[in-house]
Amino acid sequence: MKKTIITLIVLDFLALIGFFITYGPWGYFRDLLITTAMNTMTHTYLARIFYSDEMIKESLSRNYIIEVNETTNVNEIEVGKIKETKNYSSIYEKQILEREEDQLYKLIEFKYKGYDVFLTAIYDPSRVEIASTRHLGVVGENVTDIAKNNQAKVAINAGGFYDGSYEGNGGTPTGVVIEDGKIVWNGAHVSGNIVGFNKDNILVLSKGSVQNALKSGLRDAVQFGPFLIVNGKASAVAGNGGGGKNPRTVIAQRKDGIVLFLVIDGNGEKYNFDLRGGASYGDLITILERYGAYNAANMDGGASTVLAIEGKLQNKPCGLYTVDGQRKLPNAWIVK
């Protein structure tokens, strides 16, 4: 009986703490829960359970990102002009530029604010392309499977997908998908942001029409965002940027043409949304600037965030759908 009473007291105390955090005077926790939940496809209900539409709208008005209103200046990127030096300007430059001769890619691992970070430098941007599920429009595939099907050495998740029924089958991409200069999917436009490589292997971030992008020589692309850095200028982030803290995936390119795949894990929590954790848009920009990113765009994140190298999963995805946490997705950025 005594143990039961103690247990009830502890549960009441924890409930009180939770109530105080959720509705108390500190807006940080409230904004974090709302923006993190609203930035997902399947967990927006977690915000609406606790907060009114007015409170959600107010929170989102305090946390937003203002993208740089420019298109990538391709003349600023010099593909193949990787600097050969022993006098590195920073430890970050040394990590990127110190490599074996003819090395295709290099994985750099570290922690940022307690979370695992995987930064892959790809030294030949001509080897980076988009690969889609074999069953486009029907069902997606795990990134490891997309990589295997395309003999890819490195792969990360790319664009988003329509998931109105919360089935998570990943077969229907949102926005346009371009492969080898051809539109392979022309879906609903969730944003006008086009992220892709042109025929000169330069990562181009633009907001124009898809047809204009194709005319300009875009070979592989998806529609997603937000843009984090354009022409060396970082987007302005208010609060947490409106995306809360989530596992993240980013594709970027330096001025010397080196492509960066940035993946940040959360806590690997599949079933506890509140403990999923991860990074904010501001965190991404800080890391990307350290490593010299000149153009960078956010890709689909949360349970979609995946990095596979040589066929093996590197991070800890937090999806509910498979034993290893991966979820079925429409496409991936691969390195062949």
User: Own/partner pairs for 68-71, CB < 8 Å, 24+ apart?
Assistant: 68/227, 68/229, 68/230, 68/231, 68/233, 68/234, 68/235, 70/230, 70/231, 70/233, 71/204, 71/205, 71/206, 71/207, 71/208, 71/230
For residue 277, the model assigns a pLDDT of: 85
Domain range summary for the chain, segments of one domain joined by +: 2-62, 66-335
DSSP 3-state of 63: coil
Mean pLDDT value across residues 88-99: 96
For residue 220, the model assigns a pLDDT of: 98
Quick one: pLDDT band at residue 217, thresholds 50, 70, 90?
A: very high
Contact criterion met (CB below 8 Å) for 228 and 264? no
Provide the strand spans (E) within 104-214: 105-112, 115-122, 128-132, 154-157, 176-179, 182-186, 194-198, 203-206
Judged against a pLDDT cut of 70, whether residue 7 lies above it is answered with no
Please give the Cα distance from 62 to 65 (Å, whole number): 10
23-38 pLDDT, tens per residue?
444 455 566 556 656 5
Strand order, beta sheet including 128-132: 128-132, 331-335, 154-157, 307-309, 312-313
143's enclosing H/E stretch is helix 143-149
For residue 273, the model assigns a pLDDT of: 55
% the chain with pLDDT above 90:
61
Cα–Cα distances in Å, from 177 out to 92, 155, 201, 206, 222? 33, 17, 17, 14, 5
156-174 pLDDT, tens per residue?
999 999 876 556 689 999 9
For residue 203, the model assigns a pLDDT of: 98
Q: What is the chain's mean pLDDT, rounded?
A: 85
Query: Which one is predicted more confidently, 18 or 297?
Result: 297
The angle subtended at Cα 22 by Cα 19 and Cα 23, nearest 5°, is 80
For residue 104, the model assigns a pLDDT of: 97
Residues 106-140 as b or e (16 or more Cβ within 10 Å = b): beeeeeeeebbbbbbbbbbbbbbbbbbbeebeeeb
Quick one: pLDDT band at residue 146, thresholds 50, 70, 90?
A: very high
Q: Give me the residue label for tokens 């006008």.
A: 192
Whole-structure pTM value: 0.84
Q: Give me the residue label for tokens 């029409």.
A: 209
Mean pLDDT value across residues 42-50: 58
Contact criterion met (CB below 8 Å) for 300 and 226? no
258-317 pLDDT, tens per residue?
999 999 999 876 655 556 789 999 999 999 999 999 999 999 999 899 999 999 999 999
Q: Is the dihedral of CA 198, 264, 80, 75 positive or negative?
A: positive
% the chain with pLDDT above 70:
77
For residue 20, the model assigns a pLDDT of: 40
Quick one: pLDDT band at residue 336, thresholds 50, 70, 90?
A: very high
